[in-house]
Amino acid sequence: MRPPPDQSTFQPEIQWFPRPILGIESSCDETAAAVLNRDGAVLSNVVSSQVTVHEKFGGVVPELAARAHLGTIDLVVNEALTTAQVSKRTLGAVAVTQGPGLAGALLVGVNYAKALSYGLGIPIIGVNHLRGHIASAWLADPTFPLSCIVLVVSGGHTHLYHHDADGRCMLLGRTRDDAAGEAFDKGAQMLGLEYPGGPAVDRVARSGDPRAISFPRFHRSKDSLEFSFSGLKTALLYKLREMDSQLQSRQIADLAAGYQEAIVQVLVAKAFAALKQSNLSALAVVGGVSANSRLRTVLSERAAREGISLSLPPLAYCTDNAAMIASAGRQLLMRGEQPNSDLDIRPTERFMTTVEENGPQSVSKKIKEKANS
Ligand code: ADP
Ligand code: MG
């Protein structure tokens, strides 16, 4: 066991050794903690969901989220350590989500992690939540190719990235309005399904016919990697207005299946267009929406047909979790990123640059520019 730190000379910034790492995630409505061993394998992954706190409001209430994090974070961290059979004193570092997310919710995780880092004399590293989702692509399969396209599809993001062999990410395209998860959640609400909407639409759609009712699929132009889901939402609203409540309930499975199919087909088409434009043959799809069963089927079938390596994280790593945060933090430390005991929350932080005018030429040009820099 290591002695407690001498606080007069405490410099957590420079004391990273490859030992177990604790990850903490509190950016939205899940309080999560996880421990990875020194080689990056997941020893524990504990998630406490706040669904019961927010379901009666049909969405996340920021103030309630922060209070719920405060009430559970210590329990969740202790459970993660106990399950991993790792004592606090053997930890080598703590990684925590810095942003983007709800300010009050992020504050709970960041302050808890800072106190732990200070008390134990171990480095702390801040992790961007999207970088965490991206890292989840390698959690179950560390041999998955590093040079790949990553599609992040969650409640707040629909982002397509080019991920290079050094772990650098370049944003190729993103949604212009709603995120894919948001489209699922809002669609579910219109259909009268429970919160959170994604899993509910997924479940109801299984007994529906995706071709029975057609929904629009947004494609800005043939080669565009931009997404938009607001028109789809409006289309559902108009279809529902045309039906009386009896017809609505009779057709709910077909409505859910058609709506889901429109989201899935657009996501798959753009992910594969990005592969083609970037000349890559590996695709990772991560974030809460990657748990969608229809999306997983369509992706797997097309990847098999076209000889594309596909990483679809196990369901526990799709929605928000801390194993992905610990993994991203560990990668940053191994790449020489300096820990920062003074870190602060970054509620609106973005992740990486955009190719504003994307098309096959600009994407490959940008990738070449990046490789030469
Ligand atoms: P965040 O946006 O906070 O990072 P997550 O990565 O946990 O959140 O993703 C949550 C989103 O994933 C929600 O919008 C939820 O509806 C969606 N989701 C979860 N499971 C499914 C599913 N099976 N099908 C479609 N969407 C899903
Ligand atoms: Mg997330």
Instruction: Output the six-digit token pair for 179.
Output: 């995120």
Cβ atoms of 325 and 101 closer than 8 Å: no
By alpha-carbon position, which residue is closest to atom 19 of ligand 1?
288
Question: What is the 242 CA–ligand 2 centroid distance (Å)?
Answer: 35
- Measured at the CA of 245, the angle between CA 242 and CA 246, to 5 degrees, comes to 110
By alpha-carbon position, which residue is closest to atom 1 of ligand 1?
155
The preferred substitution site among 150, 184, 206 for testing ligand 1, maximizing ligand atoms within 8 Å of CB, is 184
Pocket of ligand 1 (CB under 6 A): 28, 154-156, 181, 184-185, 196-199, 202, 287-289, 291-292, 319-320
Q: Please report the pLDDT score of residue 361 as a whole number.
A: 47
End-to-end CA distance of the chain: 45
Cβ atoms of 175 and 184 closer than 8 Å: no
Q: Which of 148, 152, 162 is nearest to 358 (CA)?
A: 162
By alpha-carbon position, which residue is closest to atom 2 of ligand 1?
155
How far apart CA 46 and CA 40 sit, in angstroms, is 16
Residue 195 falls in which region: left (phi positive, over 0), alpha (psi -120 to 50) or beta: beta
Q: Which of 285, 294, 282 is nearest to 314 (CA)?
A: 285
**Main-chain phi, psi angles of 176, to 5 degrees:** -85, -15
Please report, for the chain, how many H helices and E strands are present, in that order. Answer: 12, 10
Contacts of residue 249, Cβ cutoff 8 Å, sequence gap at least 6: none
Helix intervals (H) in the chain? 51-54, 62-84, 103-120, 129-135, 180-190, 197-205, 230-241, 245-250, 252-278, 293-306, 323-334, 360-372
The preferred substitution site among 289, 299, 349 for testing ligand 1, maximizing ligand atoms within 8 Å of CB, is 289
The amino acid sitting at 146 is: L
Q: Please report the pLDDT score of residue 109 as a whole number.
A: 98
Q: Which of 319, 275, 344, 364 is nearest to 45 (CA)?
A: 319
The preferred substitution site among 319, 320, 321, 325 for testing ligand 1, maximizing ligand atoms within 8 Å of CB, is 319
How far apart CA 338 and CA 332 sit, in angstroms, is 8
Question: What is the 157 CA–ligand 1 centroid distance (Å)?
Answer: 10
Question: What is the 289 CA–ligand 1 centroid distance (Å)?
Answer: 5
The amino acid sitting at 30 is: E
Question: What is the 289 CA–ligand 2 centroid distance (Å)?
Answer: 10
Q: Please report the pLDDT score of residue 222 as a whole number.
A: 76
How far apart CA 139 and CA 130 sit, in angstroms, is 15
Question: What is the 5 CA–ligand 1 centroid distance (Å)?
Answer: 41
Query: What structural domains and CATH numbers belong to the chain?
Result: 14-135+319-334 (3.30.420.40), 142-312+354-372 (3.30.420.40)
Q: Please report the pLDDT score of residue 357 as a whole number.
A: 38
Strand partners, 149: 162, 283
Q: Please report the pLDDT score of residue 214 as a whole number.
A: 94
Other CB atoms within a 10 A radius of the CB of residue 169 amount to 20
> Among all ligands shown, which has an atom nearest to the Cα of 101?
1
* Residue count (the chain): 373
Local structure of 351: helix, strand or coil: coil
Question: What is the 185 CA–ligand 2 centroid distance (Å)?
Answer: 14
Strand order of the sheet with strand 282-286?
A: 169-174, 158-163, 148-153, 282-286, 309-311
pLDDT by residue for the chain (373 residues), tens only, comes to: 555 555 445 454 555 678 999 999 999 999 999 999 999 999 999 999 888 888 888 778 888 999 999 999 999 999 999 999 999 999 999 999 999 999 999 999 999 999 999 999 999 999 999 999 999 999 999 999 999 999 999 999 999 999 999 889 999 999 999 999 999 999 999 999 988 899 999 999 999 999 999 999 987 777 899 999 999 999 999 999 999 989 888 999 999 999 999 999 999 999 999 999 999 999 999 999 999 999 999 999 999 999 999 999 999 999 999 999 999 999 999 888 889 888 999 999 988 755 443 444 455 555 555 555 5
Question: What is the 129 CA–ligand 2 centroid distance (Å)?
Answer: 7
How big is the chain by its Cα radius of gyration, in Å?
Answer: 21
Q: Please report the pLDDT score of residue 359 as a whole number.
A: 42
Cβ atoms of 129 and 27 closer than 8 Å: yes
Q: Please report the pLDDT score of residue 336 as a whole number.
A: 87
Q: Which of 64, 23, 55 is nearest to 326 (CA)?
A: 23
> Among all ligands shown, which has an atom nearest to the Cα of 229?
1
Q: Please report the pLDDT score of residue 15 as a whole number.
A: 58
Sequence-distant contacts of 302-307: CB under 8 A, at least 24 apart? 302/268, 302/272, 306/272, 307/281
How far apart CA 123 and CA 310 sit, in angstroms, is 34
100 preceded by a cis bond (ω within 30 of 0): yes
Instruction: Output the six-digit token pair for 46.
Output: 């504990």
The minimum-distance atom of ligand 1 relative to the CA of 129 is 4
